[in-house]
Structure 1
Amino acid sequence: MAKHTTLKQGQLLKYIGKRWKNLNISSNPIIKFLGYDSNGFADVWVEYQGRLMLLALKDVELAM
């Protein structure tokens, strides 16, 4: 996703990045946007299955 895309808290995103060890996100890739990290707005805070995660903005896209 482009850095200049404006997201709102609670907006649903789809994870398109690589798999992590011990994280089976491919079965349900929908995550909830919580906010931007202040480090150049290149990272986003999200919630996935009750877990808070910091992801690179390039690893998510808008969920349709």
Structure 2
Amino acid sequence: MRLEARGFNRALRHPTEILFPEPITGGFVCAATVSLLYSFANVEVSFSLEIRDFLLLYFFAGIR
């Protein structure tokens, strides 16, 4: 997803050079894809939340 986000950011470069961080763009692309799948193909996508707490711990431990 990160490579797609990087390419998406480069393609949408605005003259004022406002760039969104790649994780934000990747999240938007993922949300849009899941929404389109649900709307047009009636496919429900679910994400496992079991590892979420573990990853959040690493995320907040990395912020100083």
Instruction: Report the TM-score when normalising by structure 1.
Output: 0.19
Higher relative contact order (CA 8 A, sep 6+): 1
Hey, which of these two has a bigger chunk of strand by percent? 1
TM-score relative to the length of structure 2: 0.19
